Structures are given as C-alpha cells and as structure tokens.
Amino acid sequence: MRKHLSTIVLVILLLIGLSLLLYPTVSDYWNSFHQTRAIATYAENVAALDNASYDAIWDAARQYNRNLCSRSNSFLLSEEQKAEYESLLDISGQGVMGYIEIPEIDVSLPIYHGTEDPVLQVAVGHLEWTSLPVGGESTHCVLSGHRGLPSAKLFTDLDKLREGDTFLLRVLDEILTYEVDQILIVEPQDTAALEIAEGEDYCTLVTCTPYGINTHRLLVRGHRIDNIEEVKTVRVTADAVQLEPMLVAPVVAIPMLLILLILLLLPRRRKK
C-alpha cells in the first residue's frame, strides 16, 4: 500500500513539474493561434466592406486625429469621446483596429483599442489619447505591449530593434511603414516623447524595461516612410495556415501519458 502511495505521489509530482515546464510553450502557442485567427477575421471583415463604407471609416479616423490636435487636454477623454474613440476603425465589433508586423523580431499582432490588462495579456493596445493608426501629418500613434509574459511573446524582443529597422501597421487595406529613428528609456510618467510634433507622422512602440523588473519604459519611435515594394502586395487571408488547438494537444498529452504508464508498470515488473 505504501509503495502504491509513493508511486502515486511521484507521478503527481512529475506531472506537475512537466505541466510547469510545458506551460510557457503551450500558452504561447495558444495565444499565437488566437492572434492569427483575430488577424484573419479582421482581413475577412475588411474584404467585405464596400467602397463607401471603407472611405467613411477611414475618413472618420482621419478627422478624429485632426480634432485630437486641437483638443486642450488630449490625455482625458469624456464618456462621449471615449465611446466615439472605441467605435472608430472597429469594423468587427471586437475592438480590433488593425495589426502590426515587426519583421526584425518576427512579430505579427492584432491592435486593440485601449491598454487595459486583458488586452495587453494577448495583443497590442493603442493608447486612447494618441493618434489613431492611420498616418498623416501631425500625428503620433502610440502602441503598447507587454514584455516577458510566460504565456505570450508579444513585445518581449522589442529591445532588439535598432535605428533603421522598420515595422508595419496594416489598417483596413492600407499599409503604413515606419522606420525606427529614436530609442529611449524613460520613467513611466514621462510622456514628453509621445507628444504630437507639428508636421510629423510618428508611431511609437512602448513596453516595460528592464526585462523582469519593469521600472522604466522602452520607447521605440518610427517615422513614416514610403512602403517597401516587396510588402505592397502582401495580404493576410482568412485561409492562412492556422493549427487547431486539438492538433497540439496530443503533442503535450502523449509524452505525459507514456511517463505515467511507465511509472505504473515498473512496480508490477519488480514484483514478478
């Protein structure tokens, strides 16, 4: 009886350890799957828009950015302004306004309205008091993402970007390319580098730093440049390769079951 009990305890401890070991890989896969699906669904919804609806959505976002420049206190939104903000570029009703691609660190993530924690756990959030990601003179879009989460990669490798690297924003059917021209580390309350500069078209990516300590903010700013020829025709389609979660489950479960089976059979062989 004691031998059986010790075997059961050993198996439980082994399974717990294996689960902890596999958690980052499995959860990162799971989040990547949902990120890919969110992007594909967004592309589907964009493709379904007629020309009139498309133009109206784009023009409304541009007008919002123009109004933002003239607002006395852009950091605070009234309830009415927040409702307007959350409706802009949200063609699916799910809060997705586009997606970002950072080729240098192999990142492709949906962009959601706001920077609440549920958003930042799985995707990139748009700071609601900054310009919408549609470009144009005198705009400064700011996108925030977590770093170092065990469950998702997100902006973990943002510190690997260097001046001259590029990243892309795909909003509706438009591609906006930005070239990194400034990298700063600032205090969390220091927002001076996020302000709109007259005549400039900026986008800044924000994450916490140092890795695992998170006392400061890493700001990676890019200025708008012409699209690179190779990416002008790139489109994400709804039938892009997507692995279902059920396909990855056996990869995790089978090794665990084999170990469990071996541990259960070993005592029986010893008795024989």
Q: Where are the alpha helices (DSSP H) in the chain?
A: 2-47, 51-70, 79-87, 117-120, 245-271
Residue 241 lies in a domain: no
Label residue 22 exposed, middle or buried (CB < 10 Å: 0-12, 13-18, 19+): middle
Beta bridge mates, 220: 183, 205
Range of the domain at 87: 2-235+248-271
Q: Residue for token digits 């260097």?
A: 162
pLDDT tens figures, 99-137: 999 999 999 999 999 999 999 998 999 999 999 999 999
| Three-class secondary structure of residue 243 per DSSP | coil
**CATH classification at residue 127:** 2.40.260.10
Contacts of 123 (CB under 8 A, 6+ apart): 35, 38, 109, 110, 111, 112, 145, 154
- Residue 202 in domain: yes
Examine residue 211 and state whether it is found in any structural domain, yes or no: yes
pLDDT surpasses 80 at 222: yes
Residue 144 lies in a domain: yes
Q: Give dist(CA 151, CA 33) in Å, integer.
A: 12
pLDDT in tens, 7-48: 566 656 555 655 555 545 555 555 566 677 888 889 999 999
Check residues 138 and 152 and name the one with the higher pLDDT: 138
Q: Tell me whether residue 169 is in a domain.
A: yes
pLDDT score of 248: 47
User: Would you place residue 71 in the very low, low, confident or very high pLDDT band (cuts 50, 70, 90)?
Assistant: confident
Alpha-carbon distance of 153 to 107, in angstroms, equals 8
Q: Which pair of structure tokens corresponds to residue 177?
A: 């390319």
What pLDDT score was predicted for residue 231?
Answer: 54
Domain count, the chain: 1
Residue 36: what pLDDT? 79
> How far out from the chain centre does Cα 91 lie?
18
More confident residue, 78 or 157: 157
Residue 147 lies in a domain: yes
pTM: 0.76
Answer yes or no: is 243 within a domain.
Answer: no
Q: Does residue 242 belong to any structural domain of this protein?
A: no
